Structure 1
């Protein structure tokens, strides 16, 4: 039997993702489906049940990980952008935080689906996530603007 090919990592080779600093993350819904809600023109996101769970879990991140600070975030119909700061070295890694967050969101959503007599898909999240290491105050400010302006660009895509 042939060994499976190694998965290509999208992480920055050699970087230690449990070091204090700012990180910009994008997590996508499975298949980029609009699972988190609907975004009508010139109106805020109308959250689905899963969208409500994602927001609640975002707001609870610092409760689960006291050494992080959620800076800026926006939930879109099929993805979430967040800018967070790890405030202490080696207290938690970005991948640990993302994995735990995705798991809590999915488990809560799955529990609600099953309680309502529905079947639950195997996941609500796309495998992996996108990250950007923030390296300067200018880049930090640019990421904040990008995240906050994301809804206004949605209907022009």
Structure 2
């Protein structure tokens, strides 16, 4: 059971881009990116060890040290493709200095993550990157173009596909390199309560994998 004020059916299954909304505005966004055809190529659930067969996966939180090692029985193991995806996700702030990353999780066939776009001199709840993301708000020159959320997600997809194609060639794999579904899903995070609810949803998503609409075995 998901103990958050978050409508999974409404927000995960449908893109909810807002009409006339400027997606380059500073703010926080909940993003879901799915694999092509729902292929289970990013991570693998552990074998059930409990009678009910409930599996847990590791999420990556702003509250937990990145170098902490989760218990192997409680975590999904990233595949080589999943490791490539995680590396490219975590390096987005290097490509876009005004971007910070918050909570995220890599599931077998999708990624959930919170992306923060920081504007200079922004004063709202997520204006200070240290309050929402892991990095301090960078100083962005007034002449610098603020990327849209679509540009950020597009860059992530392109970078990860490039590295996946190289991995396929190097290892002689028989698979398609275009790993992502064409679209993505997002929600504007409007306040601190919304942010906390979505963080909780991301953390709890793995333990609900057996009931997840993206799970083909469901």
Deviates further, 108-117 or 126-135: 108-117
Instruction: Please identify which structure carries the higher strand content.
Output: 1
Match of 2:119 among 88, 100, 115: 88
The runs of 5 or more residues in structure 2 that have no matched partner are 1-14, 47-54, 57-73, 121-144, 213-218
| TM-score, normalising length: structure 2 | 0.65
The runs of 5 or more residues in structure 1 that have no matched partner are 1-8
**1:35-60 per-position Cα deviation (integer Å, ceiling 9, x unaligned):** 10211224211111110001111111
Match of 2:44 in 1: 38
Match of 2:163 among 108, 116, 134: 108
Cα pair 1:37 1:46 within 8 Å, conserved: yes
**1:145 aligns to 2:176 (yes or no):** no
How far 1:11 moved relative to its partner?
Answer: 2.2
How far apart, in 2, do the equivalents of 1:10 and 1:143 lie? 15
Cα pair 1:114 1:120 within 8 Å, conserved: no
| TM-score, normalising length: structure 1 | 0.88
How far apart, in 2, do the equivalents of 1:127 and 1:51 lie? 18
Larger Rg belongs to:
2
Deviates further, 10-19 or 70-79: 10-19
User: What's the RMSD between the two structures over aligned residues?
Assistant: 1.6
Match of 1:66 in 2: 97
Cα pair 1:110 1:120 within 8 Å, conserved: no
Deviates further, 110-119 or 123-132: 110-119
